[in-house]
A = this chain, B = another copy of it.
Amino acid sequence: MTTPLGIAVIGTGRMGTDHVRRIQEVISGARVTAVADVDEARAKAVAARVDGCAAHTDPVAAMASAGVDAVLVASPGPAHEEAITAALARDLPVLCEKPLTPDAASALRLVEAEQAHGRRRVQVGFMRRYDPEYTSLKALLETGQLGRPLMLHQRHRNVASASFFTSEMLISDSVAHEVDATRWLTGDEITAVTVLRPTPSANAPEGLADPQFVVMETASGALADVEIFVNCGFGYQVQAETVCERGTARIGDGHALVTAMAGRWGGSIAQDWTERFATAYDREVQAWVDATRRGEVTGPSMWDGYAAAAVCDAGVRSLHEGGRVEVELAERPDFYR
């Protein structure tokens, strides 16, 4: 294909608008040909900045407009099932922002719909798989030098949470990333989850269980723990350490610029994910565009989206009920192997 891939972007909030900018100004081989948002003014404002881009309020209409070869879904999670179903009906390739859907049941319906469709069309936006540090960690694990992963220690810290953030969202919105990273790095399904609640930080909003400490067990007996702390106050940090039979490997220290000043040496900490993961998003969308133009689907599948949702469902139950909760996961179809 020599002409650029025409993309309909569904949802023009913060994430969707950033993807429009990325497709138009950063990556190669694609352009935005339609956008859709329930907020018509917002959709029009975004479309106005892109040459030849149509604005819609209906996602299906956007997908049906001229020059659309593929769909990027960046609307809120509850709208994903309908958008993906419509895209499958038109046989359009999809990059769907995480979460695939808000719960395991709806995610499983989509998994079944794609199988019924008979051909993989959907990639889920677990963009950490495209972060240079995560990919170097994965590549190192795959060499086998360190032996089998036994434990995975992860840290996920945000400066402050948005006002609408609930205790459950620490699991389903934030730890969801570590759920996928754990599955990807270990190559293993997660079988049980325990969510522990230390006394909340005085800096967390009243009623929010923040931080939380999540322990996950995998099918092969590896253990993955996650500190999630969304009101840590000092910065955005994502760190992961794998402990293997012959060594450990750690990412996320962020030592690029080191200063010495006023009695202290050190560096600055990113203040949000746009700074820490900008490159990961660029690479994710470029990889999706490239694969789509070759007629392939290469990234995280709907099965990955479903499995993450199933683990998060168990995590939320553990948060509510306490103790260890086993993950209920459907049998993995050959279609997704």
Are the CB atoms of A248 and B260 closer together than 8 Å? yes
Render A292-328 as a binary contact track against B, CB cut-off 8 A, 1 for contact. Answer: 0000000000000000000000000000000110000
Contact of A211 among B51, B151, B211, B234 (CB under 8 A): B151
Q: Residue A259 at the B interface, CB < 8 A? A: yes
Please state if A202 and B257 are interface contacts (CB–CB under 8 Å): no
Q: Say yes or no for A261: interface residue by CB 8 A criterion.
A: yes
Q: Report how many copies the assembly holds.
A: 4
Is A250 on the interface with B (CB-CB < 8 A)? yes
Distance of A326 from chain B, by nearest CB (Å): 14
Beta-carbon contact of B267 and A264 below 8 Å: yes
| Distance A237 CA – B290 CA, assembled complex (angstroms) | 32
Task: Categorize the interface residue count of chain A.
Answer: 35 or more
- Listed by A's residue number, 26 A-B pairs whose Cβ atoms lie within 8 Å are A26-B27, A132-B256, A133-B257, A137-B257, A148-B201, A150-B199, A150-B201, A150-B211, A151-B213, A151-B229, A196-B215, A196-B223, A198-B217, A199-B222, A203-B246, A213-B215, A234-B247, A234-B262, A234-B264, A235-B265, A249-B259, A251-B257, A251-B258, A253-B255, A253-B256, A263-B268
Top-5 shortest CB links A-B = A266-B266, A199-B221, A247-B261, A255-B255, A2-B51
